[in-house]
A and B are shown apart, each in its own frame.
Chain A
Amino acid sequence: DGGITQSPKYLFRKEGQNVTLSCEQNLNHDAMYWYRQDPGQGLRLIYYSQIVNDFQKGDIAEGYSVSREKKESFPLTVTSAQKNPTAFYLCASSPRTANTGELFFGEGSRLTVL
Chain B
Amino acid sequence: QQQVKQSPQSLIVQKGGIPIINCAYENTAFDYFPWYQQFPGKGPALLIAIRPDVSEKKEGRFTISFNKSAKQFSLHIMDSQPGDSATYFCAAATDSWGKLQFGAGTQVVVTP
Contacts and interface: CB of A to CB of B under 8 A. Distances in A.
Contacts of A33: 98
Contacts of B33: 101
Contacts of B6: 42
Contact of B93 (A35, A96, A99, A105): A99
A101 B44 contact: no
A43 B44 contact: yes
B97 A99 contact: yes
Among A45, A103, A105, residue most surrounded by chain B Cβ atoms (within 10 Å): A103
B95 A99 contact: yes
Interface in B33-48: 33-34, 36, 41-46
Interface residues of A, number: 28
B22 interface: no
Contacts of A40: 9, 104-105
Contacts, number: 74
B2 interface: yes
Nearest to A33: B98
A42 B89 contact: yes
A97 B97 contact: yes
Contact of B49 (A43, A94, A102, A107): A102
B46 A107 contact: no
Interface in A5-60: 31, 33, 35, 40-45, 48, 50, 58
A99 B9 CA distance: 27
Please list the 6 inter-chain residue pairs (A to B) with the smallest Cβ-Cβ separation, ordered nearest first: A105-B43, A42-B102, A101-B34, A101-B32, A43-B102, A42-B104
Given A33-B98, A105-B45, 13 more contacts: A40-B104, A42-B89, A42-B103, A42-B105, A48-B99, A50-B98, A58-B99, A92-B43, A96-B97, A98-B97, A101-B49, A101-B93, A102-B34
